[in-house]
Amino acid sequence: MLKIVICVSGGGTNLQAVINAVENGTIQNTEIVGVISNNANAYALERAKEKNITAVCISPKDYFDREEFNIGLFEGIKKLQPDLIVLAGFLVTIPEQMSAYYKNRMINIHPSLIPAFCGKGYYGLKVHEAALERGVKITGATVHFVDSGMDTGPILLQKAVCVLPEDTPKTLQKRVLEEAEWEILPKAIAKIASGEILLGKSLLEIDDK
């Protein structure tokens, strides 16, 4: 059984997509052992509670400084003893100590086709604003392992989404969520749970096989 912890900051529609996929068997052999939010008001916490999933708020507001918060977050995650950590709209910079500890055991969903529109400052609507400003005709979403950089880890899955002439950042964000994110995040977890993607191994090692 793959034990996963999902980290969230907002509405949690990606979390919901994973919960649904576990329930309907698209993701097998997997248990969501906890949901962690840095934001006490995140609706994602309600989604977890509704399914009797352990839902914890670990907020920087409750800590003296960032360093203390980072320790609190790390401890909070470790306590749940996950095999895999899923960042699903988690607006917190992962401390290097944590990304090293969970190397190739932590994945993130990003709402663009990495390496486009990613890295520092590219989060939420800003990603889609930048895509529209640049005039790209295709965007999408990416699931990748988390390393010490921002959106720089090995890519696991991507899905493309067309940009329409009448798109606004909001309509594009919605279409990327619906057509790409809700599909590839559960798919990546399913592949990890089935052993198709190996945890704790670099993609290079996997390619060598």
The secondary structure element, H or E, covering residue 25 is none
Answer yes or no whether residue 186 interacts with ligand GRF by CB under 6 A.
Answer: no
- Which residues are annotated as catalytic? 110
Pick 89 or 186: Cβ nearer ligand GRF: 89
Q: Where do runs of H (alpha helix) occur along the chain?
A: 13-23, 43-50, 66-79, 96-101, 125-134, 169-176, 182-193, 203-208
Q: Quick one: which of 98, 177, 184, 197 contacts ligand GRF (CB under 6 A)?
A: 177
Site for ligand GRF in 23-52 (CB under 6 A): 44
Pick 83 or 181: Cβ nearer ligand GRF: 181
Pick 110 or 197: Cβ nearer ligand GRF: 110
Which residue type does 113 have?
Answer: L
Q: Choose one: 9-17, 21-29, 49-57, 72-80; the region binding ligand GRF (CB under 6 A).
A: 9-17
Q: How far is CA 137 from CA 31, 113, 126, 183, in A?
A: 38, 12, 17, 21
Q: Quick one: which of 4, 6, 12, 18 contacts ligand GRF (CB under 6 A)?
A: 12
Residue with tokens 């994945």, as numbered in its chain: 107
Distance CA 192, CA 205 (A): 15
Distance CA 161, CA 140 (A): 5
Mask: binding to ligand GRF, 74-113, rule CB under 6 A, as x and -? --------------xx-------------------xxx--
Answer yes or no whether residue 10 interacts with ligand GRF by CB under 6 A.
Answer: yes
Residue 115 preceded by cis peptide, ω within 30? yes
Site residues, ligand GRF (CB under 6 A): 8, 10-15, 44, 88-89, 109-111, 124, 177, 181
